[in-house]
Amino acid sequence: MEHYKKLERMYLNANFNQEIYQSTTIKIEEEKATIQLIVEPKYFHALGAIHGSVYFKLLDDASFFAVNSIVEDVFVLTTNFSINIIRPVSEGLITAVGKLKFKSKNLFIAESSLLNEDGKEIAFGTGHFAKSKVHLSDEIGYR
């Protein structure tokens, strides 16, 4: 679907992802988003594993795009997101899978899991999302 492809390009071309997360890939489907990242030392904290901010970003992004997959007119916003980190990871490919769990006119709830290369869950999160007033357009990279 063209909407999914535009969202994928918007994500991959975002300044933050271009600068810091160049090894990221994304696949968006209806009510689901999968994001993968190759773990690199630049993501590590002092103990040699990825920093919690990386867990948060991947989980939030996967949930966010699971929601925006069904919202075709405006950008959605994260209004609340909580994560639980289960185990550290310091190498390999990690995969965040976000799925829409609830939708109403003004509220969306999505959950996401972060898995290591062996398929073990390393973190999970739940977020609340709302529609913004920002239309999906070329100006925000939706092309």
| pLDDT tens figures, 26-72 | 999 999 999 999 999 999 999 999 999 999 999 999 999 999 999 99
Distance separating alpha carbons of residues 112 and 84, to the nearest angstrom:
11
Instruction: Give the pLDDT mean for 83-111.
Output: 97
Strand extents, DSSP E, 19-103:
25-29, 32-38, 74-85, 93-103
pTM recorded for the entire structure? 0.96
Confidence of residue 108 (pLDDT cuts 50, 70, 90): very high
What's 2-140's CATH class?
Answer: alpha beta
| pLDDT recorded at residue 19 | 86
> Measured between alpha carbons, how far is 72 from 6 in angstroms, rounded to an integer?
10
Q: What is the pLDDT of residues 9-26, one digit of tens each?
A: 999 999 989 888 888 999
| Residue-range domain boundaries for the chain | 2-140
